[in-house]
């Protein structure tokens, strides 16, 4: 950035550069964690399948209409009097049916507003008996609300971080300026310059995605961050219901009549939806006051193939199965939100698009990571005594190690915990998460206690080893080793195993590059000194 | 299949656009290419990108098409970028002393001062 001092407009570009550096640094560690866990969340359904190995591989998608009937029967029997229940029908990416329900008022299960939830087996309709785990949903929830704090606090922190990200993106573009001239530029072996080129490439190639994902991330929680418009305009209960109907397909229960009438066949309703939207494009079945004469059933359209989360559903009279209404559009403001929301989650994706989302998001993660490391690379050259850097430098350096290399170790440890913690452990799902944070804290302690370069290398190797051995652990502790998955054509397990090895290789390459790095041989301009991390990873990407 | 086609188009497009750039011509060939050739490369690259957009939009409509194009372009640009680095490093190792390609004077001065 200093290289460009000759050019005019230096005032604004230098102030933007300052803004970029500090906005990026202050929230950088949080942003890195949000980016990486968010990236992984594009495969959260697959990860959840992998983390519940007891649930058999689903070779063929069962007919959603039959599954809906099966689960509906089960829910009618197991939660009688529930004012509302809702199930997500299985698709190619899920092998269980997630359902939740409001508990009946005055029932033993809890108070008026209490909810219950469970995963059901699509083949039998019974509750699944898999190990207790949050699965991929842990990374997904951590990505926007963190943990060990009220969800609302977490979401506010995530929102602040996203605002910082947006500032960093805009100021970064202004600072960079030569986006097109330097589009493919990489000057290797030049320390800070190489880091800057790598950071620029990662940022510019994925710029549409990075900007979109940050902005739409804020939109997903806009009702929390900016509630005032809604508070002013929406006053009555009826208005509130009308707004809810614009935002999602959960129909709200009216007042039950108290007259018991059994629910008409749900399978027939789902079939009508299948005719309209396609056999495997039915997303969710929601029933209100089932078993009452006022029952309603909404069958919602699936998410694939349409870039919008706006609700589309068919509404049926619950007692007769008569179609009451087809809802296929919302107002333009609601639709704008629906589209932005959908862009963030990418649930409409086919397999290839999902991988594109994952890879470009990984580039975003690397963008934040290279940015963080660059802060130390740039300052290391200016240190009065490189052997004894000042406290600010040391804090950044150590936090970088734990938040970049350490997070890889901790996330993999979470998966190890999933295989190793005893099935009967009380609060097992919570312990998997405690393990994640315990390991992450240990990597921070390790980063503080060890010399910086050694800490980087050891943690990168630890991550590589844990990742490389995870398929082995899976083979030993479950009956679904790689050769078995290959025979079954079980791409969730094959993919997870192969991905572990690919990521292990990536971490190993980074570790080797870091270990091999000899600043003096690189002949970086005069002040190279012991640029330990400084160029340590500089060629790791190439 | 459509994904493969549009990714190949994006890859070809960015390769052509990269070869049309002064710095990359210096790095890879040691001299600038003919202006006419450079122009042709730039045209080819732009057309290939537009064609990829056309393929995807025709296949999936504007919403999904644009999303997919964005993914393909980001990835293709990354692949071209890494390939250039690889070629330059490989060339250095085989023949001349290492990193000649990078240490060669770069035509930056003419660009950074407008």
Q: Locate A125 and state its tokens.
A: 């309709």
List chain B residues with CB under 8 Å of A357. 71
Q: Quick check: B84 and A186 CB within 8 A?
A: yes
Contact A333, A340 (CB under 8 A): no
Q: Quick check: B67 and A181 CB within 8 A?
A: no
Q: Are residues A210 and A279 in the same domain?
A: no
Nearest CB neighbour to A7, from listed B3, B84, B112: B112
Residue A328 lies in a domain: no
Q: Locate A421 and state its tokens.
A: 């913690």
Residue A288 lies in a domain: yes
pLDDT in tens, chain A (542 residues): 444 444 555 688 889 999 999 999 999 999 999 999 999 999 999 999 999 998 888 888 889 999 999 999 999 998 888 999 999 998 888 888 999 999 877 665 555 558 888 889 888 888 888 899 999 999 999 999 999 999 999 999 999 999 999 999 999 999 988 888 888 888 877 778 888 999 999 999 999 999 999 999 999 999 999 999 888 988 888 888 888 888 888 888 888 888 989 999 999 999 999 999 988 889 999 999 998 999 999 999 998 888 999 889 999 999 999 999 998 888 898 999 999 999 999 999 999 999 999 999 999 999 999 999 999 988 888 888 877 888 899 999 999 999 999 999 999 999 999 999 998 899 999 999 999 999 999 999 999 999 999 999 999 999 999 999 999 999 999 999 999 999 988 999 999 999 999 999 999 999 999 998 766 433 334 333 333 333 333 333 33
**CA distance to partner chain B, nearest, from residue A358 (Å):** 10
Residue A380 lies in a domain: yes
Distance, in Å, from the CA atom of B52 to the CA atom of B16, rounded to the nearest integer, reads 14
Contact A272, A324 (CB under 8 A): no
Residue A262 lies in a domain: yes
List chain A residues with CB under 8 Å of B83. none
Q: What secondary structure, in 3-state letters, does A395-424 show?
A: HHHHHHHHHHHHHHHHHHHHHHHHHHCCCC
Residue A214 lies in a domain: yes
Write out the residues of chain A at the interface with chain B, using a CB-CB cutoff of 8 A: 3-4, 6-8, 178, 181, 183-190, 201, 204-206, 208-209, 212, 305-308, 339, 343, 346, 348, 352-353, 356-357, 359-360, 363, 541-542
List chain B residues with CB under 8 Å of A190. 102
Q: Are residues A286 and A415 in the same domain?
A: no
Q: Are residues A21 and A119 in the same domain?
A: no
List chain A residues with CB under 8 Å of B18. 183-184
Residue A275 lies in a domain: yes
Q: Are residues A414 and A496 in the same domain?
A: yes
Q: What letters, b where the CB count within 10 A reaches 16 and e where it falls short, cover A301-311?
A: bbbbbbbbbbb
Q: Are residues A398 and A472 in the same domain?
A: yes
Residues 6+ apart with CB under 8 A from B110: none
Helix A207-220 / helix A332-345 crossing angle, nearest 10 deg: 120
Q: Are residues A381 and A489 in the same domain?
A: yes
If phi > 0 it is left, if psi is from -120 to 50 it is alpha, else beta; for residue A146 that is left
Q: Are residues A158 and A108 in the same domain?
A: no
Residue A376 lies in a domain: yes
Q: Are residues A419 and A458 in the same domain?
A: yes
Helix A452-477 / helix A491-516 crossing angle, nearest 10 deg: 160
Nearest CB neighbour to A184, from listed B18, B64, B113: B18
Contact A101, A115 (CB under 8 A): yes
For residue A281, give its domain range. 64-129+249-310
**CA distance to partner chain A, nearest, from residue B41 (Å):** 15
> Domain residue spans in chain B?
2-103
Q: Are residues A28 and A70 in the same domain?
A: no
- State the DSSP string of A71-102: HHHHHHHHSTT-SEEEEEPP-TT-SSEEEEEE
Nearest CB neighbour to B113, from listed A6, A201, A353: A6
Q: CA of B106: which chain A residue's CA is closest?
A: A187
Nearest CB neighbour to A7, from listed B80, B99, B114: B114
Contact A421, A367 (CB under 8 A): no
CA angle, residues A232, A236, A242, in degrees to nearest 5: 95
Q: Are residues A296 and A179 in the same domain?
A: no
Helix A207-220 / helix A151-176 crossing angle, nearest 10 deg: 150
Residue A146 lies in a domain: yes
Distance, in Å, from the CA atom of A303 to the CA atom of A350, rounded to the nearest integer, reads 11
Q: Quick check: B75 and A356 CB within 8 A?
A: yes
Domain count within chain A:
2
Q: Are residues A176 and A303 in the same domain?
A: no
List chain B residues with CB under 8 Å of A339. 63
Sign, CA torsion A309/A214/A356/B7 = positive
Distance, in Å, from the CA atom of A162 to the CA atom of A502, rounded to the nearest integer, reads 29
Measuring CA to CA, how many Å separate A301 from each of A86, A274, A279? 14, 9, 11
Distance, in Å, from the CA atom of A191 to the CA atom of A333, rounded to the nearest integer, reads 48
Which ipTM value was assigned to this complex?
0.85
Q: Quick check: A307 and B85 CB within 8 A?
A: no
Q: Quick check: A6 and B17 CB within 8 A?
A: no
Q: Are residues A33 and A178 in the same domain?
A: yes
Q: Quick check: A6 and B68 CB within 8 A?
A: no
Q: Indicate which of B11, B67, B83 best probes the interface with A, i.e. most A CBs within 10 Å of its own CB.
A: B67
**CA distance to partner chain A, nearest, from residue B86 (Å):** 7
């Amino acid at each position: 950035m200093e290289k460009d001092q000759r050019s005019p407009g230096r005032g604004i570009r230098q102030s933007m550069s300052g803004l970029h550096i500090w906005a990026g640094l202050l929230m950088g560690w949080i942003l890195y964690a949000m980016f990486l866990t968010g990236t992984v969340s594009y495969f959260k359904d697959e990860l959840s399948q992998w983390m519940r190995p007891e649930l058999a591989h689903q070779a063929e998608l069962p007919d959603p209409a039959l599954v809906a009937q099966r689960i509906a029967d089960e829910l009618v029997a197991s939660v009688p009097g529930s004012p509302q229940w809702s199930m997500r029908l299985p698709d190619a990416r899920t092998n269980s049916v997630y359902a939740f329900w409001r508990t009946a008022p005055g029932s033993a299960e809890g108070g008026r507003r209490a909810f219950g939830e469970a995963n059901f087996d699509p083949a039998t309709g019974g509750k699944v008996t898999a190990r207790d785990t949050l699965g991929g949903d842990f990374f997904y929830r951590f990505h926007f609300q963190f943990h060990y704090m009220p969800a609302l606090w977490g979401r506010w922190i995530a929102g602040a971080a996203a605002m910082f990200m947006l500032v960093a993106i805009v100021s970064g573009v202004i600072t960079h300026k030569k986006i097109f001239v330097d589009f493919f530029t990489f000057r290797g072996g030049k320390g800070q310059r190489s880091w800057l080129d790598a950071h620029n490439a990662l940022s510019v190639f994925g710029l549409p995605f990075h900007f979109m994902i940050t902005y739409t991330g804020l939109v997903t929680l806009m009702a929390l961050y900016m509630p005032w418009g809604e508070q002013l305009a929406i006053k009555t209960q009826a208005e509130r219901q009308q707004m809810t109907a614009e935002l999602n397909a959960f129909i709200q229960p009216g007042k039950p009549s108290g007259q018991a009438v059994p629910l008409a066949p749900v399978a027939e309703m789902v079939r009508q939806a299948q005719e309209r939207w396609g056999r495997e494009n039915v997303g969710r079945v929601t029933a209100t006051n089932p078993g009452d004469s006022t029952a309603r059933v909404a069958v919602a359209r699936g998410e694939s193939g349409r870039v919008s989360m706006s609700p589309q559903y068919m509404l049926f009279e619950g007692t007769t199965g008569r179609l009451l209404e087809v809802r296929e559009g919302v107002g333009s403001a609601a639709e704008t939100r629906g589209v932005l929301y959908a862009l963030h989650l990418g649930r409409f994706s086919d397999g290839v698009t999902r991988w594109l989302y994952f890879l470009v998001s990984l580039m975003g993660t690397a963008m934040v990571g290279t940015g963080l490391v660059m802060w130390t690379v740039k300052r290391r050259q200016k240190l009065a005594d490189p052997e004894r850097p000042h406290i600010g430098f040391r804090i950044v350096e150590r936090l970088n190690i734990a938040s970049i290399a350490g997070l890889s170790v901790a996330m993999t440890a979470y998966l190890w915990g999933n295989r190793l913690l005893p099935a009967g452990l009380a609060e097992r799902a919570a312990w998997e998460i405690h393990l994640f944070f315990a390991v992450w804290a240990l990597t921070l302690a390790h980063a503080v206690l060890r010399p910086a370069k050694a800490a980087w290398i050891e943690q990168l190797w630890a991550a590589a080893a844990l990742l490389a051995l995870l398929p082995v652990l899976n083979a030993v502790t479950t009956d679904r080793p790689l050769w078995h998955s290959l025979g079954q054509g079980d791409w969730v397990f094959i993919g997870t195993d192969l991905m572990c090895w690919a990521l292990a290789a990536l971490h190993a390459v980074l570790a080797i590059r870091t270990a091999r790095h000899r600043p003096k041989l690189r002949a970086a301009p005069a002040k190279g000194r012991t640029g330990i991390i400084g160029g340590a990873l500089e060629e790791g990407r190439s | 299949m459509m994904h493969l086609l549009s990714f190949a188009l994006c890859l070809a497009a960015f390769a052509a656009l990269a070869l049309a750039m002064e710095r990359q011509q210096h790095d890879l060939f040691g001299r600038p290419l003919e202006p006419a050739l450079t122009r042709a490369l730039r045209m080819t690259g732009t057309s290939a990108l537009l064609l990829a957009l056309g393929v995807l939009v025709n296949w999936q409509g504007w919403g999904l098409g644009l999303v997919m194009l964005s993914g393909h372009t980001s990835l293709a640009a990354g692949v071209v970028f890494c390939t250039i680095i690889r070629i330059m490093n490989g060339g250095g190792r085989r023949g001349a002393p290492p990193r000649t390609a990078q240490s060669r004077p770069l035509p930056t001065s003419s660009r950074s001062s407008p």
